[in-house]
Structure 1
Amino acid sequence: MSLSSHLQELKKKHRMLSDAVEEAQRAPSVDGLHVAELKKQKLRLKEEISRLSSETVH
């Protein structure tokens, strides 16, 4: 897998997690720990995207 396609896949997963977080926050029965875990996953993806993006520049 090329770096650009890997980045695109990570960005897609990040968008999906964003949608999942928004949906979970609207649902009154969703556990706060579940939302927190989704946010952690989203942050890890964002950091990985940022790291890989900076590597392509250098």
Structure 2
Amino acid sequence: MSLASHLEELRRKHGELERAIDEALAHPSVDDLEINRLKRRKLALKDEIEKMESPPTRH
């Protein structure tokens, strides 16, 4: 898988999680722990995307 396609897949998953969080927040019966779990997964994807997009550092 190329870097560009991998990044696109990560962005797609990030968007899906964002929609899932919005949907869960719209239903008061959804467990807060489930919402927090979705938010952590979304943040982890965001971190991975940013890491892949940033230029490599030199030491």
Deviation string for 1:4-57 (max 9, x for gaps)?
00000000000000000000001011000000000000000000000001147x
Q: Report the TM-score, using the length of structure 1 for normalisation.
A: 0.93
Structure showing the higher helix proportion among its residues: 1
CA distance in 1, matches of 2:52, 2:27: 34
Q: Give the equivalent residue in structure 2 for 1:49.
A: 49
CA distance in 1, matches of 2:21, 2:53: 24
Count residues in correspondence: 56
Q: Give the equivalent residue in structure 2 for 1:22.
A: 22
Q: Report the TM-score, using the length of structure 2 for normalisation.
A: 0.91
Q: Give the equivalent residue in structure 2 for 1:5.
A: 5
CA distance in 1, matches of 2:45, 2:55: 15
Structure number with larger C-alpha Rg: 2
- Among the aligned pairs, what percent are the same residue? 50
Structure 1 gap segments, 5+ residues each: none
Structure 2 gap segments, 5+ residues each: none
Q: Counterpart amino acid of 2:48?
A: E
